Amino acid sequence: MVGFRFRDFVPEDQPEKGFESLFKLFMQLVTITSGDVGEALQWLNELDKQYGLTDDQYGMGNFIDDLKKKGYIDENEQERGAFKITPKTEQGIRKSALEEIFGKLKKSSTGNHRTPHTGQGDEQSTDLREFRFGDSLEQIQMSESIRNAQLNHGMDGDDFMLTEGDLEVRENEHKSQTSTVLMIDISHSMILYGEDRITPAKKVAMALAELVKQKYPKDFLDVIVFGNDAWQIEVKDLPYLQVGPYHTNTVAGLELAMDLLRKRKTPNKQIFMITDGKPTCLKEGNGYYKNSFGLDRKVVNKTLNIAAAARRVKIPITTFMITSDPYLQKFVEEFTEVNQGKAYYSGLQGLGHLVFEDYKKNRRKTL
């Protein structure tokens, strides 16, 4: 529990009892404990002792049995008597994060990004135009076309003439795909001074992943973490993410992000970076150059250089700086100006909303 700061849990005057109420708390706790079921259940037991979350009709043992029956936890084969969360729980955590951070979202059947352009697409627009070679038969609007034929050729006798020039088609809205790389800072500063910043960052990442899966299934989302080095992780690994004894190698994260985006053939590419600290580390050969005191000129210049390189290949970087330190904000402003990207300065509570609003805006970007 070292590295976390907790507030008093203040339940309702008459707390709800039963599986659903306990399950909501369990999902929050298992996120904070990075997927450690045993630790989450211990915390839940402590809350139960203090606030009477269970009663004689439904106890903690019943809740654990229900978790197993419903497929949320399994026996850990490597450790007898221990439990692990299942893929069903991993998806449930992502959905819970989506609801908590982004609110209730309407589902979309297509999941592509709207643009002002027309062409071959999945959804019809309200615009009509003359038929052109290559248009599909499904696009022809028969009522409008027959009306044009009547106006152009008349209805003399039994003769009815319909020519190519009479045909009208309805445009399909052109849709675009977006490739996004989400970078998550897992350096030690994410739990420094007793503040748990990694849990909100994980929730944002899980919510974003679930948003893409539900509303934009044709998009690409890659997730990477960075500390002394940077490496790619799977979406299913997000609940288990933990902070390490790392410095902040922003350059390594951005280099990996750009490498991943180069492999994508989509026209829109972008990087989201969630961090709470300044860059403090560079990889040099087999070792590391580190300096946590102030803004090191060598580290800063290398970071600004890669921001400029991303701008040259038209990859905007949106930085979500979860700190209010004016000294660090000045660096982020310079970084953003070099990249011509975007930056948001937010406390932990507002982080999710900013990610959602900006992500939605970028997804509707004109091609």
3-state secondary structure 197-245: CHHHHHHHHHHHHHHHHHHCCCCEEEEEEECCCEEEECHHHHHHCCCCC
The rounded mean pLDDT for the chain is 80
Split at pLDDT 50, 70, 90, the class of 17 is low
* Sign of the dihedral defined by the CA atoms of residues 15, 20, 22, 23, in that order: negative
Split at pLDDT 50, 70, 90, the class of 364 is very low
Same-domain check for residues 229 and 351 = yes
* Domain's final residue, options 103, 138, 170: 170
Same-domain check for residues 159 and 233 = no
Per the CB < 8 A criterion, the answer to whether 165 and 112 are in contact is: no
pLDDT of residue 350: 60
* Residue 329 to residue 316: CA distance in whole angstroms: 18
| Per-residue model confidence as pLDDT tens digits over 303-353 | 999 999 999 999 999 888 776 677 787 888 889 889 988 887 766 666 655
**Within a domain: residue 216?**
yes
Residue 219 has pLDDT above 50, yes or no: yes
* Sign of the dihedral defined by the CA atoms of residues 229, 232, 234, 238, in that order: positive
Higher pLDDT among residues 125 and 79, named by residue: 79
Dig out the tokens for 155 from the structure: 């209805």
Closest among 17, 16, 19, 18 to 69, alpha carbons compared: 19
If 0-12 CB within 10 Å is exposed, 13-18 middle and 19+ buried, where does residue 222 land? buried
**Within a domain: residue 289?**
yes
Higher pLDDT among residues 321 and 107, named by residue: 321
Question: What residues have CB less than 8 Å from 35, skipping those under 6 apart?
Answer: 84, 85, 239, 240
What is the length of the chain?
Answer: 367
**Within a domain: residue 12?**
no
Same-domain check for residues 158 and 185 = no
* Domain's final residue, options 170, 195, 225: 170
Closest among 216, 197, 214 to 349, alpha carbons compared: 197
User: H helices within 14-73, ranges in order?
Assistant: 19-32, 37-51, 60-69
* Domain's final residue, options 170, 194, 228: 170
Split at pLDDT 50, 70, 90, the class of 140 is confident
* Residue 130 to residue 82: CA distance in whole angstroms: 68
Split at pLDDT 50, 70, 90, the class of 231 is very high
Same-domain check for residues 218 and 293 = yes
Same-domain check for residues 72 and 210 = no
pLDDT of residue 96: 84
Same-domain check for residues 74 and 210 = no
Residue 168 has pLDDT above 80, yes or no: yes
DSSP state of 8: P
Phi (first) and psi of residue 227, to 5 degrees: -140, -110
Residue 217 has pLDDT above 90, yes or no: no
pLDDT of residue 246: 94
Closest among 50, 42, 43, 36 to 6, alpha carbons compared: 43
Residue 261 has pLDDT above 60, yes or no: yes
- pTM tops 0.75, yes or no: no
Same-domain check for residues 184 and 333 = yes
pLDDT of residue 357: 40
Residue 270 has pLDDT above 80, yes or no: yes
**Within a domain: residue 111?**
no
Q: What is the mean pLDDT of residues 47-55?
A: 90
Residue 28 has pLDDT above 70, yes or no: yes
Same-domain check for residues 270 and 319 = yes
pLDDT of residue 94: 87
**Could you tell me the residue range of the domain that residue 166 belongs to?**
128-170
If 0-12 CB within 10 Å is exposed, 13-18 middle and 19+ buried, where does residue 273 land? buried
**Looking up tokens 């076309």, which residue turns up?**
145
**Within a domain: residue 106?**
no
Strands 220-226 and 230-233: what pairing? antiparallel
**Within a domain: residue 266?**
yes
Q: What is the mean pLDDT of residues 3-24?
A: 68
Q: How far is CA 169 from CA 9, 162, 165, 241, 252, in A?
A: 61, 14, 11, 51, 51
Same-domain check for residues 158 and 214 = no
CATH assignment at residue 361: 3.40.50.410
Same-domain check for residues 336 and 251 = yes
pLDDT of residue 106: 39
Residue 363 has pLDDT above 50, yes or no: no
pLDDT of residue 247: 94
Higher pLDDT among residues 205 and 344, named by residue: 205
* Sign of the dihedral defined by the CA atoms of residues 247, 327, 1, 348, in that order: negative
| Per-residue model confidence as pLDDT tens digits over 56-106 | 899 999 999 999 999 999 987 777 668 999 999 998 888 888 777 665 433
**Within a domain: residue 265?**
yes
Question: What residues have CB less than 8 Å from 25, skipping those under 6 apart?
Answer: 44, 47, 53
Number of domains in the chain: 3
Q: Which of 107-116, 166-175, 182-191 shows the lowest mean pLDDT across its residues?
A: 107-116
* Residue 287 to residue 102: CA distance in whole angstroms: 41
Same-domain check for residues 159 and 200 = no
* Residue 3 to residue 80: CA distance in whole angstroms: 29
**Within a domain: residue 118?**
no
Same-domain check for residues 291 and 356 = yes
